[in-house]
Structure 1
């Protein structure tokens, strides 16, 4: 999650403080250190994990080793910045780092972060020196970009050689991929110079909150892959993501050349309605309704966004440098009233597909795509009659599909990582009459049955649910309930296996009056965005999900009735690949009434499915893709010989063109010729075959009515 954090320069030395090494700022150096607020929060989080989480994990030597490895991996997973002496230096913390959290002592963690930061900028600065160095692109040598399975560099000389090769690769890549036919070597060098200087500039903006977020993630991941501490900014982003709404001007922003740049204007938002702002306009100043402008050139993106966002109904003024104009141009002033904006692309969507069945009949299938289970909790708590939620959106879609008289409905939950438990339960209620949906066991081993209590259904016809390895949590609750009730078909591959319950708790609840006074005296955190939880929040595992049949979804996930092959193995992807994951277990079955019995029907559908697969060229393509994905290359090697690399890329392009042309030919579409842009094949075999299975299911379901 945090691999994209950019880190800052730290010139450090270690001095004794009692028996524990401490980080001290060297003269002229830049060093990150924890704030008082960080220390208080770390101590409280450790207490929660030890005493109140589902696992109740003590801050022990064995946990310390996991936290240590997590932290090292999170800062340098590819082993491209640190050297062996750095690792030797920090080994002293391996068995004590989690106990430090209990005391609110973050010196060891920040020491590790700062050593990495120092190496990061050292590598970037060295890379700059290599841009104008002579490079021979006829020599046979290789470059390994991701070295996780290799040893740490033994010396700075080895590290420098890696970065010499990195620069050589970047230059060679620009040579081979540039669309500018007039670009010469000097232009490529200038492009690379700007790239590295931008990385250095962003690295120097890293602050202690960035370090603290990464450090706390290393701790929580060691306890449980789904327990997470979020600093105020991350907490605000998480909560907005859960609600599928945000409050602001309705624009997606990106940092380009030290300036906040508009990269997308969200339909329906204030910026969209005003029509003054355009793509690639740059925001160089921000002011609230009755305040002076602040110049934000060179600011971190998150700090600038915190100034621009704000509660709905409030006014923000922006100083805009229009796209394409020089810095010396006269900026324009734009005033916008912030609104609540719905993130439409992550909401439920529908389409209707026509499928020709094996019986020669044509069937219309409504497909509902659901990227996540969302609800605007804030609006719901305030009893807003128009609050945004998954169930409300899907209910409207089902009304529409009923009006359009579709023969079946398919809910596509592929890559749906979950979300609101409440929404998973209520959405299940649209397809079953009232009854239990999921069982939850809490930290005291008490089991509570969560039920749909509303009579009636919104869709009673043939129903299918498509899942894959990245369908998780709420998706698994929904799919498991549909399967247990025999209400519909489950199509695809085994789900993620995330069967734990998290509660989102603001850390302010755990800050004692004494610590509040301490934090107030220390000045608090000036970077906390408007409306964000003051001390962040913790999403902590407080229970475990069980299906109505008593089986946990944890670790094992939900198996499909009609199975499709997948490239994502359980050993590498999903809950079963997480070292700190809770195991599978089972409790008593709760009382529920099945809608019917699909056992015989599923056997018939699988037989038809397998017959189609044996004759399907597209199925063969899918198996080829899976085989290619799972090729075991321990450390990929990239040739730095221009002739060889160009030949490898040409062969890869030719192979890809052949593969795509086979698909285009099958579908009766024009072939992709050399020199033309790559066509969109929209090859979704799993959806297409799922619709074929549904066309087999419709007449069988109608016979059983």
Structure 2
């Protein structure tokens, strides 16, 4: 045993002293340092990406340049805090950051983060000194909020002047929003003090895990935009998002005045069933089971949440200050048994719309809205018969819509950023018979054809998919397959263009027993890992590219709509093409498949009918005007600090907005928005409405597809 201890201590000494960090980070203030665990993880991540990812990139001067630029953008993209002298100082690390990370040396990156943090704190502290200054709102000055295209500040005087203008702009904005300017002047100042003090408080809670997450993202983004390292907290959040479930008490929490405050209670969760907790109750202490309470006042929200959440079936006790009661009030103790909660707002939903076609007939169309392709992988692996998934949910929805005898179904994939590849394949199978859905080329350059193996289709009637620029990945697989089979029509605008496949890998698989022993002996393990989260985080690593069954990649190109709508979001600014490290487009051989129908003639007819409607549509005209307004200027935005001029601009914008809103309200036969009233809620969706009209035109043309599916 003594021999093992001596060996362990010797190894720790080698790790601690074997290589001197490039930068010696000083003690005191917010001078964050990488932990031993961070250094171990960084080495393993670099090794993984150099040897096992689809795009293998070695640590080098050129890679370091990209990582360096990514890091600067991550800390100060708007060039609001750092000076040119800071950049000159950082330049010595530009060509060595990735090589240092390969050896586990994160000191240069942490040094850059620390300089930024100190600048940030100094700027907010200076802003507080400017709140009570007697600002002259009659001067012709302007304020630029986002300075990405401008030079870095030459000196501290320029930086301070920017923040003087920032405070002046904030005060002026509050002043113009108030009906009684004189009476509310002090109130406006107090609002700003609270705002800036809250920013200070949150910044001072920044820890080394925050810095490490940002630094690792700067590195992985330099490899490709979809390879990402997640620290334990982020990994847990990602996995919950993918499964559309979480385990905990079923409450949404927010930090208010340094206390964790309940802002929503999720229906069906433990807090909902218990009925003790109320909105705006404050959680001031947490205990696990029968353990001792920990005081969480002043904690970061994520740290508090990590204590409150936990595995299904475990008990958490909460010390509660009821809403409206003073901090000196006697707290209430609430004991809850954690459970699995389904996040219903992110699940598939249905609606039935009534639409009149050009043939004069009235049709009932089922609309399924799908925000993402989710699956509870953990429950699926455990063979839970009730596991949550996209395909299972939509299968039930299709049963209901069949019973309701709808004439057609539309799947709305707008803003669906993707998710599970498996779910994209299985969902396609509900609308086609057996056959290939997508092709995947892996790191070994082998191509696998992923197929729907279930015979028959759940829905054989008229079908359409709506897409837009922010439909990505799994959405593109599904829409592309529907289009290639001629199974239905695709409406909207061209998708994002993400044609890569990622695998989520728990980093604990790559932390050797020796490193685990070292971390434990040196006290280097992260003790703030949320209950149930991966101890060493997770890496989502690009392991392949996917291709349509025609052989074409969706990378950069995306999926184009059969019936297209104009969009303000260009590929160069909002798609995969906006990512410098994105993989290129290419093509492989087509998979053997048999289209269900040739829809070219139908698409041509539908397009003509659609365009004829658009020629007469005021809403289409408004859409074009909005796009023109959005794209009219790429110049650096500036706001005047002259009170009367800013008021005049804002009044003109308010009037313009009211006129536009009233035109839309009038089109729908609704009461107009009068001055002094709150703006009416605008629930109109022109793209969906016109898409449904196109589908109504398509219904009589669908018979060949239906016959082909029924025959199989």
Instruction: Give the TM-score normalised by the residue count of structure 2.
Output: 0.95
Q: Distance in 1 between matches of 2:652 and 2:684?
A: 22
Q: Deviations over 1:530-559 (max 9, x none)?
A: 110110010000000011111111111111
Counterpart of 1:25 in 2: which secondary structure?
coil
The equivalent of 2:232 in structure 1 is: 232
Q: Distance in 1 between matches of 2:178 and 2:565?
A: 39
Q: Distance in 2 between matches of 1:202 and 1:19?
A: 32
Q: Distance in 2 between matches of 1:676 and 1:480?
A: 46
The equivalent of 1:585 in structure 2 is: 586
The equivalent of 1:553 in structure 2 is: 554
By how many angstroms is 1:398 displaced?
0.4
The equivalent of 2:680 in structure 1 is: 679
Q: Distance in 2 between matches of 1:24 and 1:548?
A: 54
Question: Given the alignment of the two structures, is residue 370 of structure 1 paired with residue 370 of structure 2, yes or no?
Answer: yes
The equivalent of 1:300 in structure 2 is: 300
Task: Decide whether aligned partners of structure 1 residues 20 and 34 sit closer, same or farther in structure 2, where only a CA change above 3 A counts.
Answer: closer
Q: Distance in 1 between matches of 2:333 and 2:179?
A: 37
Task: Decide whether aligned partners of structure 1 residues 183 and 212 sit closer, same or farther in structure 2, where only a CA change above 3 A counts.
Answer: farther
Q: Deviations over 1:376-431 (max 9, x none)?
A: 01111111111100000000000000000000000000000000011000000000
By how many angstroms is 1:180 displaced?
7.5
The equivalent of 2:449 in structure 1 is: 449
Q: Distance in 1 between matches of 2:445 and 2:61?
A: 27
Counterpart of 1:120 in 2: which secondary structure?
helix
Q: Distance in 1 between matches of 2:55 and 2:339?
A: 41
Question: Given the alignment of the two structures, is residue 93 of structure 1 paired with residue 97 of structure 2, yes or no?
Answer: no
RMSD: 1.3
The equivalent of 1:433 in structure 2 is: 433
Q: Distance in 1 between matches of 2:522 and 2:440?
A: 42
Q: Distance in 1 between matches of 2:253 and 2:179?
A: 26
By how many angstroms is 1:181 displaced?
7.5
Question: Given the alignment of the two structures, is residue 655 of structure 1 paired with residue 656 of structure 2, yes or no?
Answer: yes
Counterpart of 2:23 in 1: which secondary structure?
strand
Q: Distance in 1 between matches of 2:573 and 2:83?
A: 27
Q: Distance in 2 between matches of 1:645 and 1:281?
A: 40
By how many angstroms is 1:182 displaced?
8.2
The equivalent of 1:14 in structure 2 is: none
Counterpart of 1:32 in 2: which secondary structure?
coil
The equivalent of 1:32 in structure 2 is: 32
Q: Distance in 2 between matches of 1:297 and 1:146?
A: 34
By how many angstroms is 1:18 displaced?
9.1
The equivalent of 1:3 in structure 2 is: none
Q: Deviations over 1:433-459 (max 9, x none)?
A: 011101000001000111110001110
Q: Distance in 1 between matches of 2:297 and 2:72?
A: 33
Task: Decide whether aligned partners of structure 1 residues 615 and 108 sit closer, same or farther in structure 2, where only a CA change above 3 A counts.
Answer: same
Counterpart of 1:260 in 2: which secondary structure?
strand
Counterpart of 1:529 in 2: which secondary structure?
coil
Q: Distance in 2 between matches of 1:163 and 1:18?
A: 41
Q: Distance in 2 between matches of 1:224 and 1:681?
A: 38
Q: Deviations over 1:586-612 (max 9, x none)?
A: 101111111111010001000111111
By how many angstroms is 1:354 displaced?
0.3
Task: Decide whether aligned partners of structure 1 residues 182 and 259 sit closer, same or farther in structure 2, where only a CA change above 3 A counts.
Answer: farther
Q: Distance in 2 between matches of 1:370 and 1:311?
A: 27
The equivalent of 2:398 in structure 1 is: 398
The equivalent of 2:611 in structure 1 is: 610
By how many angstroms is 1:375 displaced?
0.4
Instruction: Give the TM-score normalised by the residue count of structure 1.
Output: 0.96
Q: Deviations over 1:245-275 (max 9, x none)?
A: 0000001111111000111111111111111
Q: Deviations over 1:86-122 (max 9, x none)?
A: 0000011111111111111101100100000010000
Q: Distance in 2 between matches of 1:664 and 1:365?
A: 24
1:301-700 maps to which residues of 2 (within 5 A)?
A: 301-523=301-523, 524-700=525-701
Counterpart of 1:23 in 2: which secondary structure?
coil
By how many angstroms is 1:19 displaced?
9.5
By how many angstroms is 1:516 displaced?
1.3
The equivalent of 2:204 in structure 1 is: 204
Runs of 4+ off more than 3 Å: 17-21, 178-183, 702-705
- Give the conservation status (yes or no) of the 8 Å contact 1:251–1:265: yes
Name the stretch that deviates more: 179-188 or 403-412. 179-188
How many aligned residue pairs are there?
A: 688
The equivalent of 2:8 in structure 1 is: none
- Give the conservation status (yes or no) of the 8 Å contact 2:492–2:565: yes
Q: Distance in 1 between matches of 2:363 and 2:420?
A: 33
By how many angstroms is 1:681 displaced?
2.4
- Give the conservation status (yes or no) of the 8 Å contact 1:149–1:634: no
- Give the conservation status (yes or no) of the 8 Å contact 1:316–1:338: yes
By how many angstroms is 1:702 displaced?
3.5
Q: Distance in 2 between matches of 1:224 and 1:274?
A: 46
By how many angstroms is 1:24 displaced?
2.6
The equivalent of 2:253 in structure 1 is: 253
Task: Decide whether aligned partners of structure 1 residues 456 and 179 sit closer, same or farther in structure 2, where only a CA change above 3 A counts.
Answer: farther
Q: Deviations over 1:628-658 (max 9, x none)?
A: 1112242101111111111111111100000
The equivalent of 1:217 in structure 2 is: 217
Q: Distance in 2 between matches of 1:660 and 1:79?
A: 36
By how many angstroms is 1:315 displaced?
1.0
Counterpart of 1:526 in 2: which secondary structure?
coil
- Give the conservation status (yes or no) of the 8 Å contact 2:356–2:696: yes
Name the stretch that deviates more: 512-521 or 607-616. 512-521
Counterpart of 2:409 in 1: which secondary structure?
strand
Task: Decide whether aligned partners of structure 1 residues 221 and 547 sit closer, same or farther in structure 2, where only a CA change above 3 A counts.
Answer: same
Counterpart of 1:116 in 2: which secondary structure?
helix
Task: Decide whether aligned partners of structure 1 residues 180 and 539 sit closer, same or farther in structure 2, where only a CA change above 3 A counts.
Answer: farther
Q: Distance in 2 between matches of 1:210 and 1:113?
A: 10
Counterpart of 2:333 in 1: which secondary structure?
strand
Counterpart of 1:291 in 2: which secondary structure?
coil
Q: Distance in 1 between matches of 2:357 and 2:67?
A: 55
The structure richer in helix per residue is: 2
By how many angstroms is 1:330 displaced?
1.3
Unaligned runs of 5+ in 1: 1-16
